[in-house]
Chain A
Amino acid sequence: MQEEIQQNLTPGEVRILDTTYPTNVTKRYLNRKKWERPNPDVVLSFIPGTVLQLAVKKGQKVKAGDTLAVFVAMKMHNTVLAPHDGEVVEIFVKEGDKFHKGASLFEVRHCPNHES
C-alpha cells in the first residue's frame, strides 16, 4: 500500500530539538553545506566573471579601497577593491581566468599599522 516516492530519497533521520525522527531525507538536505565562518582576509567574487587585469603582486602592501583587479562580468568592467589595509599574501587567479560566484580571488592579510 505504501507507494514509493520517485524522488531521490534516502532513509535517514531528522533531529528537531530533542527528538530524532526516522524518515527519508532529500538529496538537497544531504548536500547541504556546513556553514563556516568566512575569513575576512579572503576577497570572494560576488558574481561570476573573467579576470581582465591584476593590479597587484603577491607580497604587495595595499590600503583599504585600492584596486586589486579589474574583471569582466555581464559585459561590464568591475573592480575588486582591497577590503582593508594589509598585505596581499595570496592571489588565487591569473589574468584571463574565469571564476564562479563565491570563488576566492585574493587574500589580504589585515595589518592596520603597516607603512606603505
Chain B
Amino acid sequence: MENQKVEELQKKLEEAQQGGGQQAIARQKSMGKLTARERILLLVDEGSFHEYDLFVEHDVRDFGMQDKKLAGDGVIIGTGTLYGSPIAIYAQDFTVAGGSLGSMHARKITKIMDYALRMRMPIIGINDSGGARIQEGVNSLAGYGEIFFRNTLNSGVIPQISVILGPCAGGAVYSPALTDFVFVVENISKMFITGPEVIKTVLGEEISMEELGGARVHSELTGNAHFFAQSESECFEQIKKLITFIPWHNHRKALAFEPREPKAEYKVETIVPEDPTQPYDVRNVIRAVVDGSDFFEVQELWAANIVIGFGRLNGDTVGFVANQPIVMAGVLDCDSADKAARFIRYCDAFNIPIVTLEDLPGYLPGVDQEHAGVIRHGAKMLYAYSEATVPKITVILRKAYGGGYIAMNSRHLRADFVFAWPNAEIAVMGPEGAANIIFKKEITESENPEEMRKQKVAEYREKFANPYVAASKGYIDSVIDPKDTRKFLLHAITVSVNKNAQMPSKKHGIPPF
C-alpha cells in the first residue's frame, strides 16, 4: 500500500518535471537554449537542489484555460548550495506556456523571494518568459507588482542576481532592473519595454529584437546588464565567480580566501607613463596589486572610461573604482558617474571596502553632456562616496584635476586613506589651462608669447602640479613609491577592519537619481 503511494508520487514527479513536454523542449533546444531545470542543475552544487511548489496549479476558469494543465505553472523554485553556501533560485520555464507569468507563477517566485529574505541568502532569478499571461488579466499584473515590491524590500539586504536567458519584455524587465546584477548571453537575452512589433506599428521604425534589446545593446549602450557572455555555460561560470566575491547578506562579510601574491608579470611601477597625456590600461594596475592578479570586472563594456569590479587584498574582497585612460582619456561623464555611483552603493551595502585609483583629466566637455544632465549624474558619485561608511582608500596615480579630484573619493568626502604617487598632479586644472589663465597678461604682453607660455606652464607645473601641496595640507596621507602600493593598501585594509563611521539618523537620503 505504502509502496503504491510512493510509486504514485514518483509518477507525479516525473510527469511534472517534464515541463512543457518533448516537443516544447525540442523547440527550446533548437533556439540554442537549455531548459529551466538544466540551468538550475548546472548552477548549483551537484545534488544540492531541492524543489518546492512543483504541484502548484493555476486556477483560471476563462478562455479555455480550465482544461490546460501547466507543469509547475511555468516556473521552478527551490534552494540549493553554491560552493557550499546557501542559495535560493527560481527559473522560468519557457517550454510551459512560454514561461508566461500568471498569479500562481508569480506567487511561487514571491514565495522563494520571501524565503531568501527570511533565511538571509542570495537569490538568483532566471528569466525566460513571453511576458504576462494574458488570460489572467490584472492578476498577472498584480504578480509583477508583488515581485517588484519584494525586489525593493530585499535590495541591500540579500544579494539579488538576475539572469536573462530568453525574452524578458514589457513590465517583466523591471524585476531585473531592480536587482544588483544582470547577466546576459549573446543571441539569447532580449529585454525591452515595447517590442519591435509595437515600434513598427506606431513609428514605422524597423528594428530586430537583437538590435533593440539584445545582450550587446544592454551591455554596451544602456548599462542595464552587468555581465556579458557568449554562451549559457560561460554565463554560469561568471555567476559562480561573482558569488565568491560577495557576502550572503548585509550583516556579513564575503568569505575570506587564502591570500596570494600578484603575478610577477604585472609590475606596478612600469604601467603608468610619466607623461600625463599618455594612455595605459588601468586594469593592469589593479592586477598588479590584487591577490593572484585576479580582477573580476563588472560592466566591462559600458562606460568603459571608468573601471569597476572586485578583487581581493590579503584574501578579503575589495571593490575597485578606477579611471580608465585608454578610453575617453578616463574622463567622467554621465554614464561613468552613474556606473561608479551604483557600484559604490553596492559595496557599501554589503560591507565591501572600496579602493579608488585616480587618474582623470576632468569632466567631458560638450553640449550633449550638459544637456544630458552631467550635473545630476555627476552628483550621484559625490553622494555615493560621501554616504559610504565602509573603508574607503584612494590612490592618486597621476592626474587629479578640478571637480574630478573631489569626486574620486577625496579626503573631503571622508576617504579613510589617500595616497599619491610622486608624479601625481593635483590641481584645480591641468598646468596648460591654469597657466593660460593665471599668466594671461604676461603671456599676451610678452614679445614672444609662445615662449612665455611654455615657461609659465613649466613654472606652474613645477610649483603646483605635484602631490606635495595637497600633502602639506594633510589632504593626502602619504606620498608613496608606486612599488609599495600593495603594501600600503594591505595595511590600510588591515587597520580599518573595525571602522565605525555613522551617518546621522534618517529614514533615507535623497540621492540625485
Query: How many positions in chain B have a CB within 8 Å of any CB in the partner chain?
Result: 41
Task: List B residues 340-391 near A (Cβ within 8 Å).
Answer: 361-362, 364-368, 371
Tell me, yes or no, whether B481 is within 8 Å of chain A by CB.
no
Q: How many A-B residue pairs have CB under 8 A?
A: 97
User: Interface stretch among B164-172, B240-248, B311-319, B326-334?
Assistant: B326-334
Is B180 an interface position by the 8 A CB rule?
Answer: no
A3, A9, A19, A32 pick with most chain B CB within 10 angstroms:
A19
B141 close to chain A: CB less than 8 A = no
Who on chain B is nearest to A74 by CB?
A: B202
A: interface residue count bin: 20 to 34
**Chain B neighbourhood of A113, CB < 8 A:** none
Contacts of B368 in A (CB 8 A): 32-33, 35
Contacts of B255 in A (CB 8 A): none
A22, B277: Cβ atoms closer than 8 Å: yes
> Quick one: which of A5, A19, A33, A98 contacts B300, CB cutoff 8 A?
A5
Interface of B, helix, strand, loop or mixed by DSSP: loop
B329–A23 touching, CB < 8 Å: yes
A26 and B432 contact, Cβ closer than 8 Å, known pairs A1-B284, A14-B364: no
Contact assessment for A19 and B361 in the assembled complex, using a CB-CB cutoff below 8 Å: yes
Partner of B327, one of A2, A9, A20, A32: A9
Cβ distance A52 to chain B, nearest Cβ, rounded Å:
14
Complex CA–CA separation, A18 to B325 (angstroms)? 17
- B309 CB → nearest A CB, Å: 13
A116 to B331, CA, bound (A): 55
- Docked Cα-Cα span, A84 to B247, in Å, equals 62
Interface presence of A21 (CB below 8 A): yes
Report chain B residues within 8 Å CB of A94.
none
Bound-complex Cα distance A51 to B76 (A): 47
Contacts of B326 in A (CB 8 A): 2, 5, 23-24
Cα A50 to Cα B203 with chains together (Å):
8
Residue of B nearest to A20 (CB): B277
Q: How far apart are B394's CB and chain A's nearest CB, in angstroms?
A: 21
Give the chain B neighbours of A6 by CB distance below 8 A.
228, 300-301
Bound CA–CA A5/B297 (angstroms): 12
Residue contact A35 to B367, C-beta cutoff 8 Å: yes
